Amino acid sequence: MVSPTGFQDIKEMLIPQVRQAHETVAAHLAERPSPRANTLESYIAIQGWVLGGFDDGVPIPNGYVRSGSAFIHRTARVSPEARVIGPVMVGPATSLEQESIIIGPSVIGSRCIVRSEGIVEHSVMWNHCSIGRRAKVDRCLITTGASIEAGAAQYEAVCRATKVAV
69-111: pLDDT as tens digits: 899 999 999 999 999 998 999 999 999 999 999 999 999 999 9
Q: Is residue 32 part of a domain?
A: no
Amino acid (1-letter code) at residue 29: L
Q: Is residue 150 part of a domain?
A: yes
Alpha-carbon distance of 32 to 44, in angstroms, equals 19
Rg (CA), the chain: 16
| pLDDT band (50, 70, 90) for residue 159 | very high
Structural domain containing residue 50: 40-159
CATH code at 148? 2.160.10.10
Cα-Cα end-to-end distance for the chain: 12
pLDDT of residue 127: 96
> pTM for this structure?
0.79
Q: Is residue 56 part of a domain?
A: yes
Q: Is residue 131 part of a domain?
A: yes
Whether residue 84 contacts residue 77, with contact meaning beta carbons closer than 8 Å, is answered with no
2-15: pLDDT as tens digits: 777 777 778 888 88
Number of domains in the chain: 1
